[in-house]
Structure 1
Amino acid sequence: MTEAIPRRASLEVLRAEAADELGVLVQERLLGGEDPWDFMEDLPSIDELVVYLLRADNIAANDGVRPNAARHYRVLRQIALEYPPLTPAVWKLLGDGPKYRRWDATIADAN
């Protein structure tokens, strides 16, 4: 059984929303006195942020229940199927590479 991702808008609109959100995050950290050299690599890319926004929509549609590891994988894979241009971001988030970003769900679940 596949879990359909509710479509809110086109990918272009989702990317624009994510870019705005990312801009706010950068501005908040700059206003907080942080050096951009220290935090820019910690921030998600626009496509990664779109994937997490879509994942959040899926969580909200499931009465706010956070997914276990298997469901997390299925949800992200479904996002890749429904939004093919996001596939590289999805596989990067699912990959076995280094997990150094604090916002990464697999890091947050491990703590």
Structure 2
Amino acid sequence: MTLSDPLLPRRASVEVLRAEAQDELSSLVNERLRGGEDPWDFMEDLPTVDELVVFTLRAEHIEADGGLRPTHARNQRLLRQIAVQYPELDPAVRGMLGSEHTHRRWDSVVRVLGNP
């Protein structure tokens, strides 16, 4: 994959992407609080703003690629490409690449066994 990959155009500045992600996280937290959930039970499981930005960019790429779920190797390459295009997100990407057995359901490497 190169920087000129037509399936992964640079969409917006990191500041704009972070603002959108912060709004999304705020809405999610508010919804869960209104639903009566205890923040001590769910705050640790939520992605950080930068992690949410990376997942949003990843989702946009998957959609542009026909909606096919990427293989593990393709996912790793895609995350690295996001880090190249958005150097400010590199720490979040490195953390996501290093999380082989995460407990967070939203993470791309989580393997859910059986029906949820």
TM-score, length basis structure 1: 0.92
Deviations 1:29-69 (A, max 9, x none): 10111000110000000000000000001001101111110
Q: Unpaired runs of 5+ in structure 2?
A: none
Q: Unpaired runs of 5+ in structure 1?
A: none
Match of 2:98 in 1: 95
Q: How many equivalent pairs are there?
A: 109
The range that moved more, 32-41 or 94-103, is 94-103
Aligned: 1:68 with 2:71? yes
Q: What letter is aligned with 2:51? A: E
Aligned: 1:21 with 2:24? yes
RMSD of the TM alignment (CA)?
Answer: 1.4
On the 8 A contact 1:59/1:66 being kept in 2, the answer is: yes
Distance 2:69 2:94 in 1: 20
How far has the Cα of 1:97 moved from its partner? Answer: 5.9
Q: What letter is aligned with 1:22? A: L
Match of 1:55 in 2: 58
Match of 2:2 in 1: 2
Q: What letter is aligned with 1:7? A: R
How far has the Cα of 1:2 moved from its partner? Answer: 3.5
- Larger RCO, structures 1/2 (Cα 8 Å, 6+ apart): 1
Match of 1:43 in 2: 46
Q: What letter is aligned with 1:23? A: S
How far has the Cα of 1:88 moved from its partner? Answer: 0.5
TM-score, length basis structure 2: 0.88
Residue 66 and residue 98 in structure 1: after superposition, are their counterparts in 2 closer, same or farther (change >3 A)? Answer: closer
